[in-house]
Amino acid sequence: MSEDGGRRFGVWAPECTRVDLRIGDCDHAMHRDDGGWWHVVVPAARHGDDYAFVLDGSGEPLPDPRSLRQPRGVHGPSRVYDHAAFAWSDADWRGRALPGCVVYELHIGTFTPEGTFDAAIGRLDHLVDLGADLVQLMPVNAFGGTDHGWGYDGVLWGAVHEPYGGPDGLKRFVDACHRRGLGVLLDVVYNHLGPEGAYLPRFGPYFNGDTAWGPSLNLDGPGSDEVRRYVADNALGWLRDFHLDGLRLDAVHALHDSRARHLLTELSAEVDALAAGLRRPLSLIAESDRNDPATVTSREAGGHGLAAQWCDDLHHALHTALTGEGHGYYADFTAPDVLAWTLARTFLHDGCYSGFRGRSHGAPVDPARIPGHRFLAYLQNHDQVGNRAAGDRMAATASPGLLACGAALVFCSPYTPMVFMGEEWAASTPWPFFASFTEPGLVDGVRAGRRREFAAHGWDEAEVCDPVDPRTRERAVLRWDERERPPHRETLETYRRLIALRRDRPELADPRLDRFRVDAAPDGRALVLHRGRLRVACNLRADAAEVDLDLPAGRVLLSSAAAEADGVRLHLPAESFAVVEAAEPMP
């Protein structure tokens, strides 16, 4: 609002010679300042009015690049939205710091059959009962198509996808999570635009070059000061106005920035300043394939200062050991010693040669300087399931016993555990890539692109799900009734007990990598994690194993089968795990 009570509209369009604001049937001429911003005050404009911008007299109304609401989709007008109109009930919420937390990743469009925020609220008690601490939402900003999609094709970064429930729906969801003690993280995509409704480049030099998925953000060329401000304002807006507890930054390796101070460094500094003002912790979590510890190294020590990053090396090592797959990027993870090595050192590729990439890759993590909670460990996530030809989950390949072993390794490690929705009960539903684009050329291009991508990773074209067939999304919707039937019921109980034990025994959440040790048999199929006075033993073999615990004596706290501790030895049945406590305090 302006000082005289009217509503002030602004848009950055530095290369335009004329910009008009259209509200209803009336166009209002805007005035340019020296920075390329155009402004106008409209006295009668109010919350709920639709508006758009017309550039250079073209007559074509375009949505606001900083739109907060798109009720008619990404091609329609923006709508004036006042954050102050929502009544929050979370005034006592003090946030969730990442260390010690369990993260639960979910997709609003397939978490329930309805695919809305309000329907998802009805399932939050399940997450509380499971023991989750932070809910990580896949992207919910406006994207092209009729209704459903992954969300990584977003084009309006500040508007909440209307079919999910719009901005008020997201706020109701966050408010409901906070009432239950759950923090909320949001996945945001700043590295590219989706293919439908991408009007942003028409307003100014927002992009320069390309990534594998679309135009590359202009972070270091002419005009990039405002582009960087656009990203920072968007991130801060999610955290401040939607009361979110953190952001997951998609594919930060695709943010091409040659400036002396990287965008990630600037963003982490601004988020830390906001957290100080709000008096609650805020977390930035990166997705990065660089294996670069600088991502999560503090700014004071010369890093970017992010709270954490996803760690695909941990996933790949676990996946290969549990499923036996060795094609594509899994080929680097097939040696017997890889799982133990990666669990102990975080990255397999820490400067060594990667056969998949054809070059050396990554840098080592210093266990004395960087704690394990800065790396998310997981058996599954949306990428590692959805970027399979059939979208099949690990439960389609690995036995219930091996799945339980994998969960034990994740939850009893020094890393931050993350669960992908439905994983906790070994959901039978696949989760392939899907979209709802309607433009014929785009639909054909998406189909062809997915086939090429999967062929490059060794999958047969016949296995590839049709991403724009509505049935592909429908098959991905969770079947909540599975939780009450075997073997799903037993898997769910294992997850609950592991998370409860992690909460009850601080040793299991201890993130200090320099106090973490992994022993393994020569074949890599029997492992022991050393966690203070606890030992987590896993037998991945198809027959029983005798495991040395390096304890004077012990008692079994939790096991997935009838494990027996006999002094310093543990008898583990095939494909099972056990958590054993030393009978006496350790020296």
**Is residue 491 domain-shared with residue 567, that is, in the same domain?**
no
Strands (E), 124-214: 134-137, 141-143, 154-160, 183-188, 207-210
CA 341/CA 339 separation, integer angstroms: 5
Do 544 and 432 share a domain, yes or no? Answer: no
Task: Report whether 47 contacts 80 (CB < 8 A).
Answer: yes
Q: What is the DSSP letter of 196?
A: S
Domain span at residue 38 reads 7-62
- 409 vs 414: CA distance, rounded Å: 10
Which positions of the chain have pLDDT values less than 50?
1-3
Within a domain: 160: yes
Structural domain contains residue 202? no
Q: Are residues 301 and 351 in the same domain?
A: no
3-class DSSP assignment, residue 291: coil
Give the whole-angstrom CA distance, residue 293 versus residue 306: 10
- Residue 383, domain member (yes or no): yes
- Tokens (6 digits) for 214: 């679309």
pLDDT for 274 equals 98
- From residue 549, alpha-carbon distances to 486, 513, 515 in Å are 32, 19, 16
Per-residue model confidence (pLDDT) at position 255: 95
Looking at 445, 477, 502, the residue that finishes a domain is 502
Q: What is the pLDDT of residue 147?
A: 87
Residue 504, judged by CB atoms within 10 A of its CB (0-12, 13-18, 19+), counts as: exposed
- Please report where in the chains the tokens 């997450």 appear, as a residue: 127
Do 502 and 409 form a contact (C-beta atoms < 8 A)? Answer: no
- The predicted pLDDT at position 440 comes to 77
Secondary structure letter of residue 31 according to DSSP:
E
Residue 3 is predicted with a pLDDT of: 47
Structure tokens belonging to residue 419 = 């669960």
Among 365, 381, 399, give the residue marking a domain's end.
Answer: 365
Question: Are 518 and 528 contacting, i.e. CB atoms less than 8 angstroms apart?
Answer: yes
Query: What per-residue confidence (pLDDT) applies to 441?
Result: 79
Residues 249/252/257/262 CA torsion (nearest 10 deg) = 60
pLDDT per position as a tens digit, 357-392? 999 999 999 999 999 999 999 999 999 999 898 899
pLDDT in tens, 30-42: 999 999 999 999 9
Looking up tokens 């503090």, which residue turns up? Answer: 298
Q: Could you give the number of structural domains in the chain?
A: 4
Domain match, 456 and 483 both? yes
Q: What pLDDT is recorded for position 78?
A: 98
Q: Is 172 helix (H, G, I), strand (E, B) or coil?
A: helix
Do 292 and 337 lie in one domain? The reply is no
pTM, 2 dp: 0.96
Query: Would residue 511 count as lying in a domain?
Result: no
Tokens found for residue 164: 């999910």
How far is C-alpha 422 from the chain's CA centre? 15
Interatomic CA distance for residues 582 and 53, integer angstroms: 69
Q: Are residues 447 and 386 in the same domain?
A: yes
* The pLDDT value given to residue 1: 46
Is 198 within the bounds of a domain?
A: no
- What pLDDT is stored for residue 445 in this prediction? 75
Out of 457, 473, 502, a domain closes at 502
Query: Do 222 and 354 sit in the same domain of this protein?
Result: no
> In terms of domains, do 347 and 373 share one?
no
394 lies in a domain? yes
361, 390: one domain: no
pLDDT for the residue 566 = 73
CATH number of the domain where residue 123 is located: 3.20.20.80
β-strand pairing of 554-559 with 576-582: antiparallel
Residues 382 and 458 in one domain: yes
Res 587: pLDDT: 58
Same domain, 331 and 405: no
Mind telling me the catalytic residues? 250, 287
We report the CATH number of the domain holding residue 22 as 2.60.40.10
Say if CB 545 and CB 535 are below 8 A apart. Answer: no
CA atoms within 13 A on the CB side of 527: 29
Tokens representing residue 33 in the block? 């300042």
Same domain? 349 vs 446: no
Residue 85 lies in a domain: no
With contact defined as beta carbons under 8 Å apart, do 155 and 196 qualify?
yes
Q: Is residue 80 part of a domain?
A: no
Write the single-letter amino acid at 75: H
